[in-house]
């Protein structure tokens, strides 16, 4: 039962352009959402998060948007840089619960 879904396994973007990574969830109890970035042979690294009381959170080049009615969130990276090339995982949790639910990841390639 995949409660968090990332339907695009891969995405290629030109350097300097915007990267948009999408994530959908099915469990309406989730109230906190995170994006992790993962390089090969490394663990996921926390990137940015958003609480369900907000619809946008921005941190430098990274912005996460949350649409609760659609149960959809997206990560925008602008401008994209070659160093952003990695696998991006969306994760969700219900505050007070113990485990994060992860999507299957989207592999972003930023072309110089």
- Compare residues 18 and 97 and give the one whose CB is closer to other proteins: 97
Compute the half-sphere exposure of residue 29: CA atoms within 13 Å on the CB side of its CA: 8
CB atoms inside a 10 Å sphere around CB 103: 23
Whole-angstrom Cα distance, residue 95 to residue 11? 31
Residue 100 lies near other proteins (rule: CB under 8 A): yes
- By CB under 8 A, which span of 12-20, 31-39, 63-71, 78-86 interacts with other proteins? 31-39
- Compare residues 53 and 112 and give the one whose CB is closer to other proteins: 53
Min dist CB 95 to other proteins, Å, is 6
- Torsion 45-41-88-16 (CA) sign: positive
- Classified as helix, coil or strand, 13 is strand
State the residues that interact with other proteins by CB under 8 A: 4, 6, 32, 34, 36, 41-46, 49, 89, 91, 93, 95-105
């Amino acid at each position: 039962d995949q409660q968090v879904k990332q339907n695009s396994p891969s995405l290629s973007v030109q350097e300097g352009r915007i990267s948009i990574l999408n994530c959908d969830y099915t469990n309406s109890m989730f109230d906190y959402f995170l994006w992790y970035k993962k390089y090969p042979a490394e663990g996921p690294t926390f990137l940015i998060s958003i609480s369900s009381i907000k619809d946008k959170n921005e941190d430098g080049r990274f912005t996460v948007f949350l649409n609760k009615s659609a149960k959809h969130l997206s990560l925008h990276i602008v401008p994209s840089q070659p160093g952003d090339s990695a696998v991006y995982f969306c994760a969700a949790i219900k505050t007070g619960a113990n485990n994060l639910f992860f999507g299957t990841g989207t592999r972003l390639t930023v072309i110089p």
